[in-house]
Amino acid sequence: MSGVPSFAPASRDRLLALHRALLHPRVIEERMLLLVRQGALSKWFSGIGQEAIAVGVTSALDAGDWVLPMHRNLGVFTTRGVDLLTLFRQLLGRDGGFTKGRDRTFHFGHREKRIVGMISHLGAMLPVADGLALAARLKGTRQVVGAFTGDGATSEGDFHEALNLAAVWKLPVLFVIENNQYGLSTPTSEQYACRDLADRGNGYGMPGITVDGNDVLAVFQTVAAAADRARRGLGPALLEFKTFRMRGHEEASGTDYVPAALAADWAKRDPLARFERHLIEAGVVTRAQCDSERAILERETQDLVDLALASPEPRSSAAAEIADVFADRGRAEADEPSEEAVAQAPERRYVDALHGALRLALRTDPRVVLMGQDIAEYGGVFKVTEGLADQFGKERVRNTPIVESGALGAALGLALDGFVAVVEMQFADFITCGFNQVVNNLAKTHYRWGASVPVVIRAPVGGGVGAGPFHSQNVEAWFTCVSGIKVLAPATPYDAKGLLLAAIADGNPVLFLEHKRLYRSIKARVPDGPYRIPIGRAHVARRGGEATVVTYGAGVHWALRAAEALAAEGRDVEVVDLRSLVPWDVETVLGSVRRTGRALVLHEAPLTGGFGGEVASVLGSEAFEWLDAPVARLGALDTPVPFSPALERVFSPEDRLLTMLRSLLAY
């Protein structure tokens, strides 16, 4: 856009507000850059020269619309009216910031202002935007989501998964590309081969529009039109705003790799100076008024920065830090049915118990939404969700494309706007495609900025079905070392239902491991009504006095069979089913080993690096004085899971269990 369009007198106030919104982040940034030079601020990602995009996008959206900014989008926060003293404390790492000193710059969310900040893994927030947009759809509101990304992140898989998912579901998402010509030091000519990144929109069935990102009015008008289209149910848009990064990727990296002539050319297109010229030429303001406005903002900024710098450093304790890893809400109380009620309940298979839990959750809580590949009409690979789409509709039982990361990111977005997302992985092995969303987005959100993240990831695990290396893995050890995600592994139909209902009610990210060999091979009495098993409580599956087997999942059934075989030989083995790995019931396990004096820790996953090592370590230190033998460990071979059933028997620890128990008892 070459100039200011004609405007009615009533629009003068809007233009003045837009000017102030554009000036405000510039003034703050100039102060922050001074603090960097003074050593009072360790790092800064400058958005100078790009402010028109953040300000134009945010100004064009409604206050109720979600915005997902990046690290150069200070203008989003100032335009939305975020409390500046709190923001400056956040930026300067002082007490009273949005993350309590736990994360830096704009790595936080502000739900009242409808802002969800970034994590460092580029592209990761774009699927989250899909979830927020889906939440608006399910609530029946007209909210739109504006999600920022840089040109470099458009090469990330999350970019493509998010665009594809939004297009397929016709979600009201505006994907905003800030094309500032460089990904750190790599020019766009080495990042993509198309002429304009907006051209990619055609491939996803959405409009792609390229705009002068240094013209704030062009940005505003483009976003307003795209938002109106999205509100009318016509789906997402890909908006590419061409701009230039005038400073380093971050302040310390410099710009030596940028040709001087290129930088000089873009400096002439500075969005603030350009807009002020237009306003002055059109008679909206004078130069003196612009200078006066700047002086006012500089004084306000200086005063608030001084207050922020005078604030103390964050302080905490180990207990307080651990307490903030999970949201303490909705956790299951002891509401299990009586033994009499269980004895009178019908027998159900493991798969039927899971199905019953999901059906109950959908029926009793309208916030619950199921997502996954082929889970609607087909009922999922293992038919756990069969018939649920017919009963509750495809809005709440949703097929996704093959987008593991996209689905998990969307689950986070749903959770942030009040829903409970249950995502099915076809096989647990495929969760690797969404690993970042689990361990860096879902797991860390509550600790970083206090948002509850009620997301359950259902993951079929384990071998014994001849499925080979990529459909048979036990993945628990990949996640038990990640703070912020709970890990459950039920071994029985009764526990499967009670723990799944507890996971859905917990208010935190939960990885729910379902052993696929157990789906149709075991039965148990399962009450029809709702009940929840408290997360973190182990179950003594068999009482004994000579040794304790600590295990979970399929290992429980192996251990029970081995204990029965040893009982025929006159030996008495106790079996403790952990049920929950994070958190795990240390006291129940220690109590058992204190009684028996011997312990064997068993799991189906390979021995090295397995979760059993954690249990064995605790037993070795906390139960040492009661032990009559060294703590034993048994797991699978340290190989991938082989395809051949004969080879899988060699791989599995199942056939070695009885021999190892006899050795332990003989020690």
Catalytic residues: 471
| CB contact at 8 A, 355 and 524 | no
DSSP result, 240-255: EEE----S-SSGGG--
Q: How far apart, in whole angstroms, are the C-alpha atoms of residue 658 and residue 149?
A: 56
| CB contact at 8 A, 106 and 78 | no
Look at residues 420, 480, 481, 415 and name the one whose alpha carbon lies nearest to residue 451. 415
Q: How far apart, in whole angstroms, are the C-alpha atoms of residue 416 and residue 455?
A: 10
Q: Is 63 exposed, middle or buried (0-12, 13-18, 19+ CB in 10 A)?
A: exposed
Q: Which two tokens stand for residue 62?
A: 């409604």
Euclidean distance between the first and the last CA atom of the chain, given in angstroms as a whole number: 84
Look at residues 195, 129, 193 and name the one whose alpha carbon lies nearest to residue 159. 129
Core vs surface per residue 597-614: b (16+ CB within 10 A) or e: ebbbbbbbbbbeebbbbb
Return the number of other C-beta atoms located less than 10 Å from residue 365's C-beta: 14
Return the number of other C-beta atoms located less than 10 Å from residue 68's C-beta: 26
Q: How far apart, in whole angstroms, are the C-alpha atoms of residue 150 and residue 382?
A: 39
Q: How far apart, in whole angstroms, are the C-alpha atoms of residue 247 and residue 263?
A: 9
Look at residues 499, 496, 409 and name the one whose alpha carbon lies nearest to residue 455. 409
| CB contact at 8 A, 566 and 617 | no
In the numeric block, the tokens 């987008």 are attached to: 403
Q: How far apart, in whole angstroms, are the C-alpha atoms of residue 522 and residue 462?
A: 15
Q: Which two tokens stand for residue 98?
A: 């949005």
Q: Which two tokens stand for residue 352?
A: 């039927």
Q: Which two tokens stand for residue 133?
A: 């947009």
| CB contact at 8 A, 542 and 567 | no
